[in-house]
Amino acid sequence: MKKILSLLLVASMLFGMIATLSGCGKKDAEIRIYLGDQIYDFDPALAFVDDNVNRVMSLIFEPLFLLDENGKVKPGLAKSYKIIEDEEKNLYQMEITLKETYWNDGKAKVTADDLYFAWTRILDPEFMSQAAPLLYDVKNATKVKQDVAGVSRNDIGLEANKDVFTITFEGKIDYDAFLRNLTSVALSPLRENKVTEGDPDKEYWAKRTSFIATNGAFAIRSWNASTGEFTLQKNEYYHVSEPEEGNKTKDVYPSQIQMQWTNEDFDRNYRGDMNGFLQDTFDKFYSLSDVAEEAIFCVGAMPLDKELRLEYFDDADVFDAFSTYSFVFNTNKAPFDNEKVRLALSMAIDRNYLAEELVFAKAADGFISHAVWDSVKKKTSFRSEAESLIVTEARLDEARALLAGVDTSATIKLTVRDTVEDHLIAEHVEEAWGELGFEVDVNYVKQDTEIWADEKGEPGRTVVVGSRIPVYDDGIQAAYISGEFDVLGLDYNMYSTNAFTALCGFTTLLNGNGVEYYIDETTGLSNAKNRLHCSGFSDAAYDAIMDRALAEKDLEKRADILHEAEEYLLSKMPIVPVVYNQNYYLVEKIGGLDFDGYGNPVLTHARLKVSLPEAEVKVEEEEEY
């Protein structure tokens, strides 16, 4: 649950990079960040089970538009756009002109073709991505995703012409709402040759950090799974017209962002001792312990200690996250195929207790998070207009009543991440479900490893000829995609300000998973079937509600339908919302640090605002920006 550990800007400890980049207001500096836990996949279209990933994605990829902290849409990759309407011809288009910018390696310009590739990839019926509903206003998008006969990828209403990207819609839409969809990092451009040519299996490109091409303010420089260290460097070609020597970006200040993931000793060593954590962290990076208190400037992660978190809560910038920590049931397996069992297991959870212990979280009384908008304005959240659909305290007696006559002898295998937050939640749930008669076997997942080698590997390992690079899979994401689990704990990401995208995930046809091809044993012919949500949930009544939501283009009227959809979904409970995630940041003595509308830190203009002792470091003349 990284969103609670969020992100620890342990500092622009930058401390002028000690003797080399010292000084106040220095732009070309190193920033240090402490993250919750490791990231293994940098494909922006697949960031749907880990809220922590979005903080990194927003630094290395840039979509067409950005959402600022006030909910306003700002240009990102887009330079300008215009709307084209011809009612007689039923023609409704958006024409977007791109800024001049290059990929981080400087070898190619970012063009409309890169957007075309990325978006048609998401809409390809063989590609699973719950970001697909972001594009369902585009002409033929739903038909292509569902593999409707006679409609191909070339029929999607997208056209690329150098730096001009033209989008054709099914009809007249709310253009402002569509622009907000385009702020999702999931719709960032991708360089086709990197995705399709550099990986023989075409599935590991986003895990090979030395290979990925990115178009954001920062690029991946190094990644070390064994030490938990991860470095981003300034993308020198960000918003640069020509990648010539000396012609480097002026839009990014920090030269590097040094990241460090937490480890298994984090909470044990520093429980109740924030000062000790800061001191040791500073010692580790710079060996200047006598000035450590002055050198830690921004903190956004701390040990799982309720009193410690409460102590810093009032001073933190707290953001409701676009995700809800939830349990997904595999409804294809007994006893989770029984609706009463799912409801009973949900009733047994004391969400108030969990939110209080985590501090930076809210007890979930619904599925859609507090950060999601109700319709057209950020100031009105979806949750503020919704009824409480879940009682947040435990109701064991009611749960037992629901289970009357149900065999509870089955062992429930609960799969969660191996983090301190997940441990807290899993231990509570293990006890609560045990009170109902179930035995719970908790599987704490760190990572699955795929071994890359140039010779035959051992049984059970994946081998790709011609490479010696180890690749690490996110075990939770792998289980989500495969559907091989009983109950899966994850951060269920909302993808955008619009509840429609998240709620689409549970439909039969609009979920973004496309179709699965198979050989009919009777006829021997190739056939296709729709891939369901990983829970296996499929309900005609729910599908009908979401079909109405898709057809309704008035956002206020659509919001009413989406509230109806959420209520119906939770009456069936294929997913159990547990807590609404929150991000938090403690900021001190660092300037130029902003936050976007998704609660992610914007570090492009981050700089140090502190003077250092002359005895330790020579202070250069201050620069103001």
198-211 pLDDT tens trace: 555 556 788 878 78
Do 35 and 8 form a contact (C-beta atoms < 8 A)? Answer: yes
178, amino acid identity:
F
Instruction: Give 303's DSSP letter.
Output: -
Match 């460097």 to its residue by tokens.
233
Do 473 and 481 form a contact (C-beta atoms < 8 A)? Answer: no
Do 235 and 217 form a contact (C-beta atoms < 8 A)? Answer: yes
Q: How confident is the model at residue 22 (pLDDT cuts 50, 70, 90)?
A: very low
Q: How confident is the model at residue 449 (pLDDT cuts 50, 70, 90)?
A: low
Q: How confident is the model at residue 465 (pLDDT cuts 50, 70, 90)?
A: very low
Helix axes 540-551, 555-572, angle to 10 degrees: 170
29, amino acid identity:
A
Do 449 and 420 form a contact (C-beta atoms < 8 A)? Answer: no
Ranges of H-type helices in 61-197: 112-123, 141-145, 175-181, 192-196
The DSSP H or E segment spanning 57 is helix 51-60
User: pLDDT of 276-296, one tens digit each?
Assistant: 655 555 444 443 333 333 333
The larger pLDDT score, comparing residue 106 to residue 274, is at 106
> Which range among 410-419, 429-438, 459-468 shows the weakest confidence by mean pLDDT?
459-468
User: pLDDT of 364-421, one tens digit each?
Assistant: 999 999 999 999 888 899 999 999 999 999 999 999 999 999 999 889 999 998 888 8
Q: How confident is the model at residue 447 (pLDDT cuts 50, 70, 90)?
A: low
What pLDDT sits at residue 455? 40
> Which range among 51-65, 125-139, 452-466, 480-494 shows the weakest confidence by mean pLDDT?
452-466
What integer is the mean pLDDT of 423-442? 96
Provide the token pair at 226: 């064994």
What integer is the mean pLDDT of 463-468? 48
The larger pLDDT score, comparing residue 318 to residue 13, is at 318
What integer is the mean pLDDT of 154-166? 97
Residue 301 has pLDDT above 90, yes or no: no
What pLDDT sits at residue 381? 95
Euclidean distance between CA atoms 60 and 195, whole angstroms? 16
What integer is the mean pLDDT of 9-36? 44
Euclidean distance between CA atoms 59 and 401, whole angstroms? 50
Provide the token pair at 339: 């609706």
- CA distances to 117, 146, 190, 192, 615 from 126, rounded to whole Å, are 14, 9, 18, 17, 62
What pLDDT sits at residue 54? 81
The larger pLDDT score, comparing residue 395 to residue 590, is at 395
The DSSP H or E segment spanning 583 is strand 575-587
Euclidean distance between CA atoms 358 and 36, whole angstroms? 14
Euclidean distance between CA atoms 102 and 251, whole angstroms? 13
Residue 93 has pLDDT above 60, yes or no: yes
